[in-house]
Amino acid sequence: MKIDVFIEKVSSFLPNNPIGNEEMEEYLGLIEGKPSRVKNLVLKQNGIQRRYYALNKNQEITHTNAELAAMAIRGIFKEEGDLANVELMTTATSIPDQILPSHASMVHGLLPELGNIEIFSTAGVCLTSLQALKIAYLAVAVGDKENAICSASELVSATLLSKHYDAEYEKCHSIGENPYFGFEKDFLRFMLSDGAGAVLLGNKPNDQGLSFKIEWIDMQSYANECPVCMLAGGEFNLDGSTTSWKMFENKDFMDKSIFAVKQDIRLLKRYIIKLWVNHIEEVLAKHGVKDVDIDYVIPHVSSMFFYKELLREIDERNIDLLENKWFTNLTWVGNMGSASIFVALDELVRTKELQKGETILLLVPESGRFSYGTVLISVV
C-alpha cells in the first residue's frame, strides 16, 4: 500500500550579494580583455536583472557546489541535532565539483551529523532536481524510509569565467575566424547563476503550519527522438553528432573550450516549447487532473523569452494554466538550473498566503536532450 508523502519544509541558499547586469563581467571576467558583444542582446531577451554568483571580483570561488547544497540543507533545520533524524539524502546538480566521487558523497562529507545514511546522486541538467525528488519520494512512499532530504544545487559560474574562453578566442582570432565563434557558449555566460534549494520529505504532515502532499511526480524523456542540445565536456559536430572530451588531446581542452557549457540555439527553439506542452497535456490527462483545478503554476524557465513562448503555446492549446496562476522569481534571482524549482517553491511559500486545499504544479524542462517533469502538490 502506498504511503502518503509530504514536503514538510523548504529552504534555499543564495551565495553572496545579488549582482546586477552591469556588474556581471566584473565577476566573470572579460574574454581577451574586451566586453562581450552579445551580452546586452542576451540580457534583453532573458529579462534577468539580478543573479547570484559564488564568486568574488577576483574570479575566486567563495562556495563549492557541495557547500551550497549543504547550506540549503542546514537551512531546513532549526537545530543541528535534527539532522541526525534524517534517513536518506538525495542530491541533484548539473556540474558537480569533481567527476568522482559523487556529488552526494561530497555533500554528505560536509554534514557529518547525518550519520551513516543512504545517499543518492542524480546527474543531468535541470531535471536532476525532480529525479532526486522522486527517489526520495518513492523511498518514503513504499515505507523504506520515514523521511528524506533532497537538495538541488548549481555552481555554474566557475565554468563561465573568461579564462576558460581566452585560448579559444585567441586561436580563432589568429586564423581569421569570426570573433562571434562562440555565441552558443558566450550567450550562456549571461543566462546562468549559482544557488541551492532543499526540501524535507516525510510520511506525515507538519503538526504546525502548512505542508504539501505530493500527489504525483511524472517525467518523460524525448532523447530517443531529439539530438543533443546542451553540452558540457564535449563538442558539437557539423553532422549533429557530439564528441566526448575523452576523444580530445589535452591542448584541445583550452583551445576549444571543451568543458564550457554550450547550446545549439536552433534546436532549442525548434523543440523546447512544443515538447514541453505536449508533456504537460499528457501527464494531466494521465493523472485525471483538470487544468481549471490548478491554483498555482511554478514553471522553471531559462529566460523571459521562453516564459512568453510557453504562455503563448498554452493559450493556443486552450489550457487553463495562464499567467494569472504563474509564479516565477527568475528576473531577480537568476536561472540556477536544477536548483531553480526548489528556490522558487521556497519563495512562493514565504510570500504567498497559501490555503489548505490549493494545488501547485511544478514544471521543469531540460534541454540537454529534451526531458520534462511535472509535480503536483496540494496544500495540507
Domain ranges for the chain: 6-209, 216-379
The C-alpha cell that represents 165 in the structure block: 574562453
pTM as predicted: 0.95
Same fold, 6-209 and 216-379: yes
Closest CA to 5 of 128, 129, 147, 104: 147
| Beta strands at 50-51 and 19-20: parallel, antiparallel or unpaired | antiparallel
The distance from CA 340 to its chain's CA centroid, rounded to whole angstroms, is 5
The C-alpha cell that represents 90 in the structure block: 538525495
Closest CA to 312 of 322, 301, 299: 322
> What stretch of H or E contains 110?
none
CA 313/CA 265 separation, integer angstroms: 19
CA angle 132, 367, 280 (to 5 degrees): 75
Q: Which fold has domain 216-379?
A: Peroxisomal Thiolase; Chain A, domain 1 (3.40.47)
> Per-residue confidence of the chain (380 residues) as pLDDT tens digits?
799 999 999 999 999 999 999 999 999 999 888 898 889 999 999 999 999 999 999 999 999 999 999 999 999 998 878 999 999 999 999 999 999 999 999 999 999 999 999 999 999 999 999 999 999 999 999 999 999 999 999 999 999 999 988 766 555 544 445 444 455 667 889 999 999 999 999 999 998 899 999 999 999 999 999 999 999 999 999 898 999 999 999 999 988 889 989 999 899 999 999 999 999 999 999 999 999 999 999 999 999 999 999 999 999 999 999 999 999 999 999 999 999 999 999 999 999 999 999 999 999 999 999 999 999 999 99
Q: Which fold has domain 6-209?
A: Peroxisomal Thiolase; Chain A, domain 1 (3.40.47)
> What stretch of H or E contains 188?
none
Cα separations (Å) of 33 from 59, 161, 200? 14, 12, 45
